[in-house]
Chain A
Amino acid sequence: MRKLLFVLVLVPALAYAQTLTRDGVTLTPAQEARAEDIGSQLRCLVCQNESIEGSSADLAKQLRTIIRQQVVAGDSSKSIMNYMVQRYGIFVLLMPPFMRLTWALYASPFIGIILGFFGYWLMRRTKAEAPAPLTDADTRRLDELLK
Chain B
Amino acid sequence: MSPLRRRLLFGIPLALAVAGGEGFYIILRRMQQNDYDPHALPSPLIGKRPPAFNLPGADGMQGFSNTDLLAPPKPMLVNWFASWCMPCLQEAPMLMKLAKTGLEIWGIAYQDHPQDLANFISTNGNPYTRLAADASGLTAINWGVYGVPETYFIDKQGIVRWRYAGALTDDVVSGTLQPLLQKYA
Binding site for B on A (CB under 8 A): 45-46, 58-59, 62-63, 66, 85-89, 91, 122, 125-126
Which of A62, A87, A126: most chain B Cβ within 10 A?
A: A87
The verdict on A63 contacting B141 (CB below 8 Å), with A89-B41, A122-B1, A126-B1 known, is: yes
Residues of B within 8 A of A59 (CB): 137, 141, 146-147
B147 and A45 within 8 A (CB)? yes
Residues of A within 8 A of B44 (CB): 85-89
Identify whether the interface residues of B are mostly helix, strand, loop, or mixed: loop
- Range class of the B interface residue count: 10 to 19
Q: Closest CB of chain B to A105's CB: distance in Å?
A: 16
Q: Closest CB of chain A to B39's CB: distance in Å?
A: 8
A87 and B41 within 8 A (CB)? no
Q: Digit string of B126-143 for contact with A (CB within 8 Å is 1, else 0)?
A: 000000000001000111
Among residues of A, the one whose C-beta sits closest to the C-beta of B9 is A122
The verdict on A62 contacting B137 (CB below 8 Å), with A89-B43, A89-B44, A126-B1 known, is: yes
User: Counting CB contacts under 8 A, is B102 at the interface?
Assistant: no
The verdict on A87 contacting B1 (CB below 8 Å), with A45-B41, A62-B137 known, is: no
User: Counting CB contacts under 8 A, is B47 at the interface?
Assistant: no
Q: Digit string of B153-181 for contact with A (CB within 8 Å is 1, else 0)?
A: 00000000000000000000000000000
